[in-house]
Structure 1
Amino acid sequence: MSWKLTFEAPRPVIEAALLAHEDVPEWNGDIVISGSEIAEDRPDDWRLEAWLPHKPSRAEIAAVAALLPGPAPRPVVEELADTDWLTQSQQGLEPIRAGRFHVHTPDHPPLAGAGVTDFTIPASQAFGTGQHATTAGCLAMLTAMKARGVVVRNAVDVGTGTGLLAFAALDLWPRATLTASDIDAVCAPVVAENAAANGVAMGPAPGALTMVIADGMAHPLLRARGPYDLVIANILAGPLITLAPDFATDMVPGGHLLLAGLLTTQEPQVRAACRRAGLRLAARLVNGDWSILWLRRRRDWRG
């Protein structure tokens, strides 16, 4: 059995709580946090949800409540049946078109047509079926980068989830060497299965994908395979800020960085961290509440 806490509050309050959560240095890993609007016709009313694998203690409830600025509303505490909530939430998702890509679950047929790359990504325990605004935005931005003449020979997808963005990069630059990483070990078999299903080669050679489990850029293989001319990171604003210097260090001069996972309200902090790391904005797009940023490393940046 698992448990859930739900706090309802205005959107700015919930967004502030999500930012506060990213700044907690030693957050209890048993507590998974998310924020979302309550209903489409109530865009200013949001909820903060926290999932736990056990009945929450008073201290755990207080820790979540402390993220909210001001007096916290009384939470709803629920016991939940054993369910893979991520997989269930992705069942029946509609296909999406983003850039040159059509992404769908196995419940939907592929889309045939010239200039369209079709990916089948089943619901899984890993993030990134394409339906989230950040993933779709990255697919659109990668397509735009290719159209503007970007050449990629060596790329890394940090926080790859299902592997979708790495697959897209290999489709756009089929001779590139691709490395994918994620902090969550569950992603390794998910990426391998999705690669097999979509005809993506796995291995160290150019045109193939190598998968590692790593926290940020902290892995010997990631360091050894750099520097990269494309780094993709669709994660969260807090880690993006922390990792900006590492991304720049592991990029070639003039290299490209694609960032997502940040709300538009978090964009100024992320861009400031990138400027300090010698990265300049090349383009941006907004998909709903989310910003997708294409940055380039200054050629004269020394680190």
Structure 2
Amino acid sequence: MSDSWKLTLPCTRAEAEILKDDITPLAALDPVPVLMTSEIDATKPDEWRLDVYFEEEPSADTVAMTRRLVPSAARSKPVVEKLDEQDWVTISQQDLEPIREGRFFVYTPQHADAVPEGAIAFEIDASRAFGTGQHETTAGCLAMIDRLKSAGRRYRDIADIGTGTGLLAFGARALWPRARIIASDVDPLAIEIAQENAAINAIPLGAGPGQLELVIAAGLVHRRLRARAPYDLLIANILAKPLIDLAPAFAHATREGGSMVLAGLLSHQADAVASAYRRQRFRLAERIDRDVWTILRLEKRRRVRRHRPASRA
């Protein structure tokens, strides 16, 4: 145990939800800080708080960087305090309760003794980057692929774009253990963390059936992602704008009759995202609404092939 520091700022609920899955640009710091968001007063549902734990006193630049993550706190004074002789990683994770979604159980090391019998369980340590399945979009994606499995869907080629901790790729592999799965993220740190989580959860890395291949890439801009297409299941838990921008590329990479699970979008953005994919021959098959977030499942329509009648001699 050693001294550590905590930076506290007020934030809105929407800002807190976004930060649960994305701590950029703080992820570029070494060591990476731990972010925690919490509700201040149940009677004021939009008033939340951001606590950021550092291993050393944050610089003025780091404080300014953190303030930019929560624009609503532009006029608030940051509170920076030293925490004496505390295991700050353990403290920061104490409130991260395990997540149960369908047959999945996602937990931090502090809850290793709580894994229920028969669950598909993954240990995801939040000490380096926040993303244990707590965020509604990640948990919603787990719920969606669990529904696909319950419906008897079978997939052989799967891509997880914007994988983060690797959790959704791990979940897909558990449901379809013979599938070939590739997962990507634009952030090299995320891929490093996904590799560590794969080792913790005994996920074999590689390009063969039942294995997971990890690559650093923005969208589908990687030779391995292009080479392994088309996919019959594509998962992308990113943000609404890149989902819309990537619609043509995602559509091209998805097999006819294939499925797509899209997340990272607020509920009021769902129609715009669905519309972008409708123009690419996708139909909206299902949606899950979680608080202010929406998870979409889309199906790629098959082309109607008309056969010309044989000419008479």
Q: TM-score range by the shorter chain?
A: 0.7 to 0.9
The partner residue of 2:44 within 32, 42, 45 is: 42
User: What corresponds to 1:262 in structure 2?
Assistant: 265
Which of 112, 115, 120 aligns to 1:111? It is 115
Q: How many residue pairs get matched?
A: 284
CA gap 1:188/1:56 in 2 versus in 1, 3 angstroms:
closer
**Secondary structure at 1:43's aligned position in 2?**
coil
Q: Measure the CA separation in 1 of the matches of 2:132 and 2:238.
A: 14
1:239 maps to 2:242: yes
TM-superposed CA distance for 1:274, in Å, is 1.8
Aligned to 1:200: 203
Per the alignment, in what secondary structure is the counterpart of residue 151 of structure 1? coil
Return 148-157 or 183-192, whichever deviates more.
Answer: 183-192
| CA distance in structure 1 between the aligned counterparts of 2:109 and 2:121, rounded to whole angstroms | 12
Q: Secondary structure at the match of 1:266?
A: helix
Partner of 1:146: 149
Say whether residues 1:76 and 2:80 are aligned partners.
Answer: no
| Partner SS for 2:188 | coil
If you compute each CA radius of gyration, which structure gives the higher value, 1 or 2?
A: 2
1:275 aligned to 273, 278, 281, which one? 278
Deviations 1:68-120 (A, max 9, x none): 7xxx97343455779xx999744441111101111111111252423x21111
Task: Extract unaligned runs of 5+ from structure 1.
Answer: 19-27
Instruction: Name the TM-score, length of structure 2 as normaliser.
Output: 0.75
Q: What TM-score results when the alignment is normalised by the length of structure 1? A: 0.77
* 3-state SS of 1:259 partner: strand
- Within the candidate set 30, 48, 60, 1:55 is matched to 60
Name the residue aligned to 1:22: none
> Alpha-carbon deviation of 1:264?
1.1
**Cα distance change, pair 282–232 in 1 and its aligned pair in 2 (3 A):** same
Counterpart mapping for 1:52-201 below 5 A: 55=60, 74-78=75-79, 89-108=92-111, 109-114=113-118, 116-201=119-204
Unaligned residue ranges in structure 2 (runs of 5+): 19-23, 29-35, 53-57, 305-313
% identical aligned pairs: 47
Superposed displacement of residue 44, structure 1: 3.7
How far apart, CA to CA, are the structure 1 residues paired with 2:255 and 2:291? Answer: 32
Are residues 248 and 127 of structure 1, via their aligned partners in 2, closer, same or farther at CA, if it must alter by over 3 Å?
Answer: farther
Q: Is the 8 A contact 1:227 1:250 kept in 2?
A: yes
User: Residue 123 of structure 1: SS of its match in structure 2?
Assistant: coil
How far 1:41 sits from its partner (Å)? Answer: 2.6
Report the Cα offset of residue 190 of structure 1.
1.5
Contact 1:8/1:46 (<8 A) preserved: yes
3-state SS of 2:109 partner:
coil
Give SS of 1:282's match: strand
* Separation of aligned partners in 1, 2:229 and 2:149: 21
Aligned with 1:156: secondary structure?
Answer: strand
| Residue type of the alignment partner of 1:55 | A
Of 206, 223, 227 in structure 1, the residue corresponding to residue 226 of structure 2 is 223
How far has the Cα of 1:128 moved from its partner?
2.8
Aligned in 2, Cα 1:39/1:179: closer, same or farther, shift over 3 Å?
farther
Please state whether the residue corresponding to 1:195 is helix, strand or coil: helix
Displacement, 1:62? 11
Q: What is the RMSD of the two structures over their aligned residues, measured on CA atoms?
A: 3.8
Amino acid at match of 1:106: P
Q: 1:2 to 1:240 in 2, by over 3 A?
A: farther
Classify 1:188/1:237 alpha carbon distance in 2 versus 1 (closer, same or farther; 3 Å). Answer: same
Amino acid at match of 2:117: G
What is the CA distance between 1:132 and its match in structure 2?
1.4
